[in-house]
Structure 1
């Protein structure tokens, strides 16, 4: 089956201040790298409040809407900014993941990659932070459970920063397994092994600065893959951050491009064993443009090979 690429030019209209690492050029470079790929290309739909409220209260959504500027920027925290196009882009990030879940669970495609920004995995229930406004991956998991009737969904996050938002949003959701590998110590300072969720449904795998791909592979083989197989998810959602790459300026892990291909291949292979290969991936971090392009292309290539 085919692989879907879900995106929208609204991602280009979420503008951040000059010098900000989460910039429009990220999506431009990534989509350029994927331009020649044989993908089912789909425009990301815009999510309404009903979808977003699966994880965030109406009061939070309303607060973001009230603070959205008609020009310039509204600074939400030290590094998170709203511009006039931000909330449409964020809503289409949610809508893209929901659409990807529909397509994959419905058998229209084998798997899907949602290439949207802003990212989502740092957004907590009532707090925008870390460049993120809505918890795209968590909302996708809740949609699969509550609307499509799945019983178990796994979210695996290999961004270099801990997915504190996804953890917060799924902490009490016993039908999910959230797995995060991330550099520690590093912002946001969460993601310790003792953080296991209300139902032992969270697995945090911190990696020390300087960890390379060999260290990552050993940890995944020893801890992540057995836990994922034992959970037997009916859908796997990937929070695909590419900032663990050795070239990334915001962190200090030493993964190479082939490491992102490997972890994608292995996760897709487990999905093939337990849930018919159903994988939805959504873009998170990655701030060196060349590394993002190369690692993102390697990730999508692995999805395509698994989806055939």
Structure 2
């Protein structure tokens, strides 16, 4: 999106380099994601929006859709591949080819609404993956856990009042995108938190609010919108989480999934913009998912 934009290619490089430096990269199976098809995307986004988005990609240079969200000649293909990663992950988990999956992808997706690109996001990757699980694999109920520092307004826009989907989330409030705190949809369990929220307070949200709702809903697969910008080093937000907090929430989600839905978890990268804290937090997340 430009040489000084925080949503940069170096995010994925930092993650990959850190996993290698920590000696854990070899424990994972690596896959190149396919491009999502129009049919798969239409489960979430109207065709008119998708066609307009494709046309918006410039032949050269950068075009801004809003002050924060820009496209270059490769953005459309990258967005298709990010969404395709979730499709592939769902298929592999459902076929038991892998126990669970983490999609190291960009651009992120949880701010993309049905017909609006926003907040660095173009296609709602986790929504595409969740709908694939429901409509292609025939699941009845799925849950989405979102711990990005920003509210997943796009995911809410797509799934509010859909009884097949439970979304549990926390986010700094008031803060971009200035939504979520007033949602009345029964399937949206949003927990707005003030700036300065500590890891201890976050863990109470997980144990006292999220897990009871998950047990009540009984999803057959759990998706994670894994944003790591609530880390205290990340200046995109003002919360105070650390790597051990991300390990904790991952452990609790994994423990629940192992007991309730055959361990089916697909985690998809959202935010996290300070490279060191992003890489360390992703590593903590992956260690738990992989039982390392």
Does TM, normalized by the shorter one, top 0.5? yes
**Distance in 1 separating the partners of 2:197 and 2:15:** 25
**Distance in 2 separating the partners of 1:271 and 1:29:** 29
1:122 touches 1:135 (CA, 8 Å); kept in 2? yes
Q: Residue 100 in 1 paired to residue 89 in 2?
A: yes
| Corresponding residue number in structure 2 for 1:289 | 275
| Corresponding residue number in structure 2 for 1:127 | 116
Secondary structure of residue in 2 paired with 1:78:
coil
**Distance in 2 separating the partners of 1:173 and 1:54:** 13
| Corresponding residue number in structure 2 for 1:112 | 101
Deviation at 1:126, TM superposition (A): 0.4
| Structure 1: unaligned runs, 5 residues or longer | 1-15
- 2:43 is matched with which residue: 42, 49, 54? 54
Deviations 1:6-53 (A, max 9, x none): xxxxxxxxxx11221111111110121223421111111101111111
Deviation at 1:165, TM superposition (A): 0.3
- 1:191 is matched with which residue: 165, 169, 180? 180
| Corresponding residue number in structure 1 for 2:218 | 232
Deviations 1:236-269 (A, max 9, x none): 0000000000000111000011111111011111
Secondary structure of residue in 1 paired with 2:263:
coil
Secondary structure of residue in 2 paired with 1:34:
helix
| Corresponding residue number in structure 2 for 1:26 | 11
**Distance in 2 separating the partners of 1:287 and 1:96:** 21
Deviations 1:178-226 (A, max 9, x none): 111111111000111x4132xx111101111000100000111111110
- Match runs of 1:70-219 below 5 Å: 70-192=59-181, 194-197=182-185, 200-219=186-205
For these two proteins, the number of residue pairs brought into alignment is 288
Q: Residue 261 in 1 paired to residue 247 in 2?
A: yes
Secondary structure of residue in 1 paired with 2:132:
helix
**Distance in 2 separating the partners of 1:148 and 1:177:** 18
Secondary structure of residue in 2 paired with 1:41:
coil
**Distance in 2 separating the partners of 1:170 and 1:196:** 13
**Distance in 2 separating the partners of 1:91 and 1:33:** 26
**Distance in 1 separating the partners of 2:45 and 2:19:** 32
**Distance in 1 separating the partners of 2:229 and 2:243:** 11
Secondary structure of residue in 1 paired with 2:290:
helix
Deviation at 1:95, TM superposition (A): 0.5
TM-score by length of 1: 0.92
Deviations 1:145-181 (A, max 9, x none): 1110001000000000000000111113210101111
- Match runs of 1:270-289 below 5 Å: 270-289=256-275
1:196 touches 1:203 (CA, 8 Å); kept in 2? no
CA RMSD, 1 decimal: 1.0
1:196 touches 1:204 (CA, 8 Å); kept in 2? no
| Structure 2: unaligned runs, 5 residues or longer | none
**Distance in 2 separating the partners of 1:159 and 1:66:** 30
- 1:222 is matched with which residue: 193, 208, 212? 208
